[in-house]
Amino acid sequence: VMSVVLPSMAENYSTKYITAPSGNTVNLRKTASTKSAVMIRIPLHTEVQAVSYNTEWSKVKYNGTTGYMMSKYLTSTAPWIEKYGSATIYNGSRRTYVYIVQVTLYSLGYISNDFEDNYYDDITWYGIQNFQHDHGLTIDGIVGTNTKRALYNAWVNRSGS
């Protein structure tokens, strides 16, 4: 007797982020209906896994709970990419997103307001390195994905946005 082992079916998840034009949470419901019971309220900008996605409703998984939410409250773009852009920022960079990083560093107390707007100068470089050190990141002065995520989270937690 020969037995055949079939490979397990992997669930195909897609990372999405909670976005809401008004309010700070989005309802995760038991079924795909606004009349369905709310199981959990998910905070704005939280990462979730979309199990299935269409124009009206999405089935998502969050902290071990699977339910439904309106698709219009999901985005594929991480909030830190929306704020700081997708390009890597490094010493000598000149772009609008450099200024946004500088203002964030200033609001968090990592740099003074003596920086040159839109130019990644030495003041910004030292500020980023100190921020990276304090947040357990690789200390390289480069503003890549991990640094952007940490900057964004520190900014949100500080300002309550």
pLDDT tens for each residue of 65-90: 999 999 999 988 888 888 888 889 99
Average pLDDT over residues 85-109: 91
What six digits make up the tokens of 131?
Answer: 């921020």
Torsion of CA 50, 101, 151, 46, to 10 degrees: -20
Q: Using CA atoms, how far apart are residues 80 and 86, in angstroms rounded to an integer?
A: 9
pLDDT greater than 80 at residue 20: no
Q: How confident is the model at residue 22 (pLDDT cuts 50, 70, 90)?
A: low
Weakest-pLDDT range from 14-28, 56-70, 144-158: 14-28
Residue with tokens 């985005």: 75
pLDDT greater than 90 at residue 2: no
The DSSP symbol for 156 reads: H
Nearest to 128, CA basis, from 97, 107, 149, 101: 101
Distances (CA, A) of 60 to 21, 38, 66, 150: 19, 13, 6, 24
Q: Using CA atoms, how far apart are residues 49 and 67, in angstroms rounded to an integer?
A: 11
Q: Do 80 and 154 form a contact (C-beta atoms < 8 A)? A: no
Amino acid letter, 85? G
pLDDT greater than 70 at residue 145: yes
The DSSP symbol for 52 reads: E
Average pLDDT over residues 88-116: 91
| More confident site: 159 or 81 | 81
The DSSP symbol for 114 reads: T
Q: Do 152 and 79 form a contact (C-beta atoms < 8 A)? A: yes
Average pLDDT over residues 54-65: 92
Please indicate, yes or no, whether the overall pTM of this predicted structure exceeds 0.85: no
